[in-house]
Homo-oligomer: A and B are copies of this chain.
Amino acid sequence: MSLPYLKALTEDQLRGVGIPAPWSFGYLDMVRYGEIDMLQHVNNGVYLKWFENLRVRYFIERGIWTSDGNQPKVVVRNASLHFRAEVKLGQDYILTARTTKMGNTSFTMEYGVWTENGLVTTGDAVLVSIDGNGQKCALPDTARQVFSSMDGAEQS
């Protein structure tokens, strides 16, 4: 079926709305009623949920997670958010993600939230690859290749 639906934006689409290189992964979405708090704007905790879900989409769309169940687990070691302007009910926003650095067992991602007012929130996270026992383990090769070839992530 061909119904209106969310899809990862292409680089051309990102550039077309003014989101510059090297951002190459993003999604357009709408603010949901339940994301608004007492101050009538998107609650700051919601941004971590947005980035978390975007990260899962990135893993899926870029083949790091596969439908045959090969889904390497990662946990968040550090996360930061920097708010420049608030987002309100009725606004559309684009989320962007990219991987900027990778070590043996961890990697760093950056995130952006874009509205008609430009880049309104940025975030970053250090993520650690864990095995089935919750112990840190080497990043899978597929992930390393994606981070390097598609995002230009530096080896650290």
User: A residues touching B (Cβ–Cβ < 8 Å)?
Assistant: 1, 3-7, 9, 13, 16-17, 28-30, 32-34, 36-40, 43-46, 48-49, 52-53, 56, 67, 73, 75-83, 86, 89-90, 92, 134
Contacts and interface: CB of A to CB of B under 8 A. Distances in A.
A53 B75 contact: no
State how many copies of this chain the complex holds.
4
A56 B53 CA distance: 23
Contacts of A16: 1
Contact of A40 (B5, B33, B38, B92): B38
A7 B9 contact: no
A44 B76 contact: yes
B36 A37 contact: yes
Which residue of A28, A49, A89 has the most chain B CB atoms within 10 A of its CB atom?
A: A49
Nearest to A30: B6
Contacts of A76: 44, 81, 83
